[in-house]
């Protein structure tokens, strides 16, 4: 008998993605990798939105939310990468630990 | 449906005007490259037009726009007016700032981004839908990331923007995940729909708790409450001073507007509450407002204690603004209309005293090129007028009568006491005493230390003194004559009782 793929499976995958993203953000020191972790968090939320919209009733709100989030994620990545590029030009590193002049 | 969209777009005029201003400022910058101040004047014109459209909305009945995406009601109009006033003031600041003038960049983009930041805050003040909340938070955040990196040749500005973008993106990601869970629990993105689903029950309490804690991370980041405050000191110190001033007042106000509307609409069962409060729809054994009370206590205590050690004035004001977020949260903890009115009063007062303090710091930085507390030694003798004005603003930030800060704190504390939060009021009062120490340290350096022999008198331009007085005079005036402000704040939240 084939296993039915249901809401729980989607939620498990999304929770896993969320945890991996959070782990990545908290442990990695390279700014680019941190941004990749953030991307994982956003996509886990997207997966949630779509799964709830698909299995939790006929409303398309969730799908719409996911589309908005994808667009915003792209805009945010563009800005964040521009800032990281500027950091690289000034400090010749993108390691967030090495960039701490603003500390007392 | 078409009629609804047409009606909505009439009420959407202030935002439309801002969008148009954004485009025109960019075009002016493109075609009139030689006139470097021109974009600022165009931005002011656009903001005045926006203000005119907002004034036209005063006294109107509360309405919802674009199928419950946004609300136009006295509450959002209050916050829009506050934001708009801050933007106008910040344009004035920016014209006076040597830091921005010396960066020799095209200022069109700067003013355009200020306008788009304002637009984001307008939307935050009215958002009644989870998607709209997320979109407006992101619009605000993205504009502020770029603005804080605007003097990108400077190391501190670059570093500040990196920290800001990383903390901001993570917090809004957490918030989005919380929203997605809340959507799954209630099947609705609209906060009134969420409220109905929560009242109907059938919601798993543990999951609800997780989703609201995650969403609080997003709110906490916007209002810079502990433990989501880590970006604040670095960004405030590194970003150009006018941008810092803007973030410290308008960004915080918009964050509070969104948070207050979300909590008040989503978690109150208006049908049950015949009392002034309504009842929290709570997880058994857990009260939402304890979560907020913990945030408030942490923000006040940690903000004030760390501020004691600071030697850079911008950084000191950053920690002081974290502490003020804690005071403001007290009103949200109470959640009664009395508490909400107190938050509005405090924000209006905070607008004058905090922007004034930042402007005073900027005036000094323009002249002596430093924000270090040791460089303020004898400043009261070198420029008595600035010394006296700065003293009044700092006393107001502490909350000493007869300044406006006292009135703000008075209303917050009395709301707390009326709601029987005695221990919280005691903690808040103790914190005011701690804050007195570091504000007085600046005053001691200004007045009780003799200036260096080399310290010649400093003279400021007439324009700068007029701008400074624009903040100092209301700070005193609101301390003795605050009736109209209180009435206005109370009138701005009446529609919440009807829900």
Pairing of strands B268-269, B70-72: unpaired
Q: What is the pLDDT of residues B73-109, one digit of tens each?
A: 899 999 999 999 999 999 998 888 887 777 767 788 8
What's the rounded Cα separation, in Å, for the pair B379 and B376?
5
Please write the tens of the pLDDT for every residue from B321-363. Answer: 999 999 999 988 887 888 889 999 999 999 999 999 999 999 8
pTM of the predicted protein model: 0.92
Within-domain flag for B439: yes
Domain membership flag for residue A104: no
Contact criterion met (CB below 8 Å) for B268 and B260: no
Work out how many domains chain A is built from and give that number.
1
**A31 contact B CB<8A:** yes
Helix B384-398, helix B404-418: angle, nearest 10: 0
Q: Give the Cα separation of B414 and B432 in Å (integer).
A: 15
Does the distance separating the beta carbons of B159 and A100 come in below 8 Å? yes
Q: Is residue B452 part of a domain?
A: yes
Q: What is the pLDDT of residue B292?
A: 87
pLDDT computed for residue B277 by the predictor: 46
pLDDT-derived band of residue A59, with 50, 70 and 90 as boundaries? confident
Token match 């911008």: residue?
B314
Residue B274: its pLDDT value, please? 38
**Residue A65 within any structural domain of the chain:** yes
Residues B436-469: b if buried by 16+ CB within 10 A, e if exposed: bebbebbbebbbeeeeeeeeeeeebeeebbebbe
- Model confidence at B412: pLDDT above 50: yes
The residue with tokens 């729809």 is B281
Does residue B431 sit within a domain?
yes
For A65-95, letters b (16+ CB in 10 Å) and e give bbebbeebbeebbebbebbbebbeebbeebe
CATH of the domain at A87: 1.10.287.3510
- Mean pLDDT, all residues of chain B: 87
3-state secondary structure of B372: strand
- Other CB atoms within a 10 A radius of the CB of residue B97 amount to 22
Residue B268 pairs with which residues in a beta bridge? B280
Which residues of chain B neighbour A104 with C-beta distances below 8 Å?
Answer: 309-312, 315
pLDDT band at B490 (very low <50, low <70, confident <90, very high): confident
Choosing among A36, A48, A102, which should be mutated to test the B contact, i.e. which has the most B CBs within 10 A? Answer: A102
- Look-up: residue for tokens 């637009």? B119
Domain holding B401, by residue range, is 292-499
Assigned token pair, B43: 């931005």
Nearest CA in chain A to B177: A45
Report yes or no on B491 lying in a domain. Answer: yes
Q: List pLDDT tens digits, range A69-85.
A: 999 999 999 999 999 99
User: Angle, to 10 degrees, between the axis of helix B130-148 and the axis of helix B155-186?
Assistant: 170
Confidence of residue B454 (pLDDT cuts 50, 70, 90): low
Let me know if residue A101 belongs to a domain: no
CB contact under 8 A, B165 and A79: yes
Q: Residue A100: inside a domain, yes or no?
A: no
B428-440 pLDDT tens trace? 999 999 999 999 9
Cβ distance of B159 and A61 shorter than 8 Å? no
| Burial (CB count within 10 angstroms: exposed 0-12, middle 13-18, buried 19+), residue B33 | exposed
What is the average pLDDT across B107-136? 92
CB contact under 8 A, A48 and B162: no
- List the alpha helices (DSSP H) in chain A: 7-27, 31-55, 61-91
Residue B107 has what pLDDT? 82
Residue B466 tokens read as 């007029």
The total number of structural domains in chain B stands at 1
Is the residue at B379 inside a domain? yes
Q: Which domain range does residue A16 map to?
A: 7-91
H-helix or E-strand spanning residue B65:
strand B63-65
A77 found inside a domain: yes
Per-residue pLDDT band for A2 (boundaries 50, 70, 90) equals low
Tokens 């993605």 found at: A17
What is the pLDDT at residue B272? 56
Q: What does the pLDDT look like over B20-60, one tens digit per residue? A: 999 999 998 888 877 778 888 999 999 999 999 999 988 77
């Amino acid at each position: 008998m084939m296993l039915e793929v249901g809401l729980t499976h989607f939620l498990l995958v999304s929770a896993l993605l969320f945890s991996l993203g959070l782990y990545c953000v908290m442990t990695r020191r390279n700014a680019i990798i941190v941004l990749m972790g953030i991307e994982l968090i956003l996509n886990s939320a997207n997966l949630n939105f779509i799964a709830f919209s698909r299995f939790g009733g006929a409303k398309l709100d969730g799908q719409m939310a996911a589309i908005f989030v994808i667009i915003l994620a792209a805009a945010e990545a563009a800005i964040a990468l521009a800032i990281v590029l500027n950091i690289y030009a000034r400090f010749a590193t993108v390691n967030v630990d090495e960039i701490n002049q603003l500390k007392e | 449906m078409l009629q609804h969209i047409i009606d909505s777009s009439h009420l959407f005029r202030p935002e439309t005007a801002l969008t148009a201003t954004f485009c025109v400022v960019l075009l002016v910058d493109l075609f009139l490259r030689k006139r470097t101040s021109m974009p600022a004047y165009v931005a002011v014109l656009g903001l005045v037009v926006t203000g005119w459209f907002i004034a036209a909305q005063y006294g109107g009945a509360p309405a919802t726009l674009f199928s419950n995406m946004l609300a136009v009601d006295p509450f959002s109009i209050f916050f829009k007016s506050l934001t708009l006033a801050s933007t106008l003031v910040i344009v004035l600041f920016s014209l006076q700032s040597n830091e921005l003038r010396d960066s020799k960049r095209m200022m069109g983009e700067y003013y355009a981004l200020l306008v788009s930041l304002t637009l984001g805050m307008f939307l935050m003040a009215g958002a009644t839908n989870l998607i709209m909340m997320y979109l407006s938070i992101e619009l605000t955040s993205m504009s502020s990331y770029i603005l804080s990196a605007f003097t990108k040749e400077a190391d501190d500005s670059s570093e500040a923007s990196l920290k800001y973008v990383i903390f901001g993106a993570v917090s809004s990601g957490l918030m989005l995940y919380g929203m997605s869970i809340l959507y799954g629990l209630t099947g609705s993105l609209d906060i009134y729909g969420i409220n109905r689903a929560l009242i109907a029950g059938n919601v798993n309490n543990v999951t609800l708790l997780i989703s609201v804690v995650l969403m609080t991370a997003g709110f906490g980041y916007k209002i810079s409450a502990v433990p989501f405050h880590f970006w604040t000191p670095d960004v405030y110190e590194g970003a150009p001073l006018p941008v810092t001033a803007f973030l410290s007042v308008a960004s915080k106000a918009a964050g509070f507007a969104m948070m207050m509307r979300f909590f008040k609409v989503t978690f109150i069962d208006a049908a049950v509450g015949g009392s002034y409060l309504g009842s929290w729809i709570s997880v058994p054994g857990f009260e939402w407002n304890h979560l907020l009370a913990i945030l408030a206590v942490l923000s006040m205590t940690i903000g004030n204690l760390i501020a004691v050690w600071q030697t850079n004035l911008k950084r000191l004001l950053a920690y002081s603004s974290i502490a003020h977020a804690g005071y403001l949260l007290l009103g949200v903890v109470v959640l009664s209309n009395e508490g909400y009115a107190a938050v509005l009063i405090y924000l209006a007062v905070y607008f004058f005293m905090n922007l004034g303090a930042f402007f005073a710091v900027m005036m000094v930085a323009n002249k002596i090129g430093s924000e270090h507390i040791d460089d303020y030694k004898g400043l009261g003798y070198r420029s008595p007028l600035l010394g006296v004005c700065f003293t009044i603003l700092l006393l107001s930030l502490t909350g000493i009568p007869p300044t406006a800060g006292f009135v703000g704190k008075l209303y917050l504390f009395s709301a707390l006491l009326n709601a029987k939060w005695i221990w919280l009021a005691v903690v808040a009062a103790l914190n005011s005493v701690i804050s007195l120490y570091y504000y007085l340290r600046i005053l001691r350096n200004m007045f009780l230390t003799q200036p260096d022999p080399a310290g010649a008198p400093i003279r400021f331009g007439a324009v700068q003194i007029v701008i400074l007085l624009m903040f100092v005079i209301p700070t005193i005036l609101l301390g003795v004559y605050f009736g109209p402000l209180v009435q206005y704040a109370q009138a701005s939240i009446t529609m919440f009782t009807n829900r």
